Homo-oligomer: A and B are copies of this chain.
């Protein structure tokens, strides 16, 4: 049986739980190679099964490595589980409350992150896909003649996505951010139908064979912008250099944060230093203030410090780091791209 499923069965045994219910699309995909498009109830037990929406039966039949069955109703599904003698169920932390409510009368329920835990450590094949996604995204960025086009923000975003698809991406890995001028102080700015102003901040990524990439570059023009850029670049570089297995995630966050604090901008670094990525653009663990997870070989985590000065501008610089004995930046796009 598949190693991922075996790991879950071992976790279940250890915790004395009989089955694990998965409904999150990327978790079902991770375990079965079938990514739901509507809904699915994947039950990992000695004989794993996925209850599949009628809409998805054809795609599930063609892709799932696990036995599938057409979903009829909650009653039927719960009846079948009970008939097998299942009384205890582990669920994902993200399970919607209303779904939990439908199970809680018939099963003892505990929330477990068995799959998230496995997904933290990427296999070489997963790292290859993230690398390929990054290469596509970075090549597309270079293909994009941003500065010679006096374009609208949303057109630049659009052109970048088109280039990524032409270069082999399935799609963008999140809503592409192209923001400029004062709006760049919003970490999750939405590209506007307005001409590019200064500075220009672009946060973008591709999906390749299901796996995400994530980068940010900021092009600065004034002395003040350059001064902030230099601080962010120092935080970016030193955090990456500090990464090694055995440290806690929060210690890497602290390296970046302390540099920005020292320069007096601590209160303008308004998010975490980074997040894991893979099948999802945001996975755990993250380089954040409170994340005590120990860094391990095989993790892939972004490093993306930023400084945001409300009403003026923002600067963020982001690379994705694959961790072996140290942190290796994926891709080779220079930080100072202009």
Q: A186: which B residues are within 8 A, CB to CB? A: 58-59
Q: Are A187 and B55 in contact (CB under 8 A)?
A: yes
Contacts A188-B55, A270-B55, A270-B57; is A111 near B94 (CB within 8 Å)? no
Interface assignment of A29: CB less than 8 Å from any CB of chain B: no
A97/B94 in contact, CB under 8 A = yes
Q: A54: which of B57, B190, B271 is its contact (CB, 8 Å)?
A: B271
**Which of B38, B58, B98 is close to A310, meaning CB atoms less than 8 Å apart?**
B58
B-side contacts of A93, CB under 8 Å = 96-98, 101
> In chain B, what residue has the closest Cβ to A98?
B93
Is A8 an interface position by the 8 A CB rule? no
| Copies, count | 2
Residues on the B chain within 8 Å of A38, using CB: 187-188, 271
Query: Counting CB contacts under 8 A, is A165 at the interface?
Result: yes
Q: Report A36-58 CB contacts with B as 1/0, cut-off 8 Å.
A: 01100000000000000011111
Which chain A residues (178-195) contact chain B, with CB distance < 8 Å? 185-188, 190
A94 to B97, CA, bound (A): 6
A139 within 8 A of B: no
Task: Judge if A162 is at the interface, Cβ distance under 8 Å.
Answer: yes
Give the docked Cα–Cα distance between A190 and B92 (Å): 27
Q: Nearest-CB distance from A284 to chain B (Å)? A: 12
A265 CB contacts on chain B under 8 angstroms: none
Complex alpha-carbon distance, A220 and B206, angstroms: 33
| A165-B158 in contact (CB<8A) | yes
Chain A: interface residue total (CB-CB under 8 A): 37
- Asked if A95 is at the interface (CB within 8 A of a chain B CB), the reply is yes
When C-beta atoms are compared, the residue in chain B nearest to A61 turns out to be B310
B158 touches A154 (CB 8 A): no
Q: How far is the CB of A29 from chain B (nearest CB, A)?
A: 13
A317 close to B (CB within 8 Å): no
How far apart are A10's CB and chain B's nearest CB, in angstroms?
A: 23
Pair B91/A111 contact, Cβ less than 8 Å:
no
User: Contact at B94–A94, with CB atoms within 8 Å?
Assistant: no
A80 located at the interface, meaning its Cβ lies under 8 Å from any Cβ of chain B in the complex: no
Judge if A4 is at the interface, Cβ distance under 8 Å.
no
Q: A197 CA to B37 CA in the complex, in Å?
A: 23
Q: Report the nearest B residue to A94, measured CB to CB.
A: B96
Contact A101 B96 (CB under 8 A): no
In the complex with contacts A111-B101, A188-B37, A271-B55 CB distance below 8 A: yes
Residue A254 interfacial (CB < 8 Å): no
A45-94: which residues lie under 8 A (CB-CB) from chain B?
A: 54-59, 91-94
Residues of chain A touching chain B, judged by Cβ–Cβ distance below 8 Å, are 37-38, 54-59, 91-98, 100-101, 111, 154-155, 158, 161-162, 165, 170-171, 175, 185-188, 190, 270-271, 308, 310
For the complex of A and B, the 4 pairs showing the least CB-CB separation, nearest first, are A37-B188, A93-B98, A54-B270, A95-B97
User: Would you list 10 pairs from A and B whose C-beta atoms are within 8 A, ordered by A residue?
Assistant: A38-B271, A58-B310, A59-B188, A91-B97, A93-B97, A93-B98, A93-B101, A94-B96, A101-B111, A158-B165
